[in-house]
Amino acid sequence: MTQPDTPPSSGARTVRIPDDRAGQRLDNFLLGQLKGAPRSLVYKLVRSGQVRINGGRAKAERKLEVGDEVRIPPVRLETQQDAGRSPPKGLLAALEASIVFEDTRLLAINKPSGIASHGGSGISFGVIEAMRALRPRDTLELVHRLDRDTSGLLVLSKKRSALSELQRLLREDHGSGIEKRYLALLIGRMPDGTMSVDAPLHVGLRQGGERHVQVNPAGKPSMSHFRVLERRGGQSYCEIRIETGRTHQIRVHARHIGHPVAGDDKYGDEAANKRLREQVGLKRLFLHASTLEFALDGGKAPYSLNAPLVPELIEVLDRLG
């Protein structure tokens, strides 16, 4: 098992933050410095105070500034060969086949359901670890994340400048210049037209550390727009445009309006999910990230990235008639 070493502090090193790293989160910076380190180890190092910024303790989400001096403790990482652990060939093949776009700055995949964006919490390998194994010469970073059970468009950066600009766009809620659209099957008959849901969301933790999100006035502003594309078998196949990117936003907003996402075993309708599983073979969350539209270079370089609906969800729609 990978563990931090405990040699004298003289084995630590200090890195001064250059211009092109300004604004990067501490945890993401450390993942780049400690190649091969699992995210859980990075968080442990930060929580225990072994990582310091300008001599003081810091949180994992802290944004770095030019000139900050980051103390990185000595860490022993088992190589993948030594540990006998590398991403399974099946995972590598699936992700290689899932690439839907690539240029010199970005790489986008149509992420299969069931694969986490990154490793941790008992998951050895996620998309980012596997893609780095596939592309060892590229400096790949996750631009954003998708829930493990959600399929669809996931974007990775190949250049630091693209990562910084895209993450800035993603942080700017409500008309930020980045459009995010999803496809989902909602339980029941949604009304015609577009239904906008403006409901603040609060992330809480259940016993065991599981995240659970609720509509709560004390939460963060959250906006989703649901539009019915067609109705199948008494259910509503919808396109959802989100102006904010909160944790589990679509799933909680859908539940809030009384039409939970089909196949959602956390916020959904258990009886309806059972019927859909038995009648049309829906064995997963019917939520798919379909489109991202944005522009880099201050609007001079437009992107329109798309991930087609995956075959297992198309088959469910066909069976619904």
What is the spatial distance between Cα 106 and Cα 166, in angstroms, rounded to a whole number? 10
Nearest 5°: the CA angle 131, 164, 15 is 85
Q: Tokens 């468009």 correspond to what residue?
A: 153
Catalytic-residue membership of 147 = yes
Candidate list 5, 103, 147, 264, residue with the active-site label: 147
Cβ–Cβ under 8 Å, residues 186 and 238:
yes
| Crossing angle (nearest 10°) for helices 127-134 and 89-97 | 90
Q: Tokens 């064995």 correspond to what residue?
A: 283
Cβ–Cβ under 8 Å, residues 225 and 196:
yes
What is the spatial distance between Cα 215 and Cα 197, in angstroms, rounded to a whole number? 11
Q: Name residue 30's amino acid.
A: L
Burial of 52 (0-12, 13-18, 19+ CB in 10 A): middle
What is the spatial distance between Cα 287 and Cα 238, in angstroms, rounded to a whole number? 10
Q: Which residues are catalytic?
A: 147
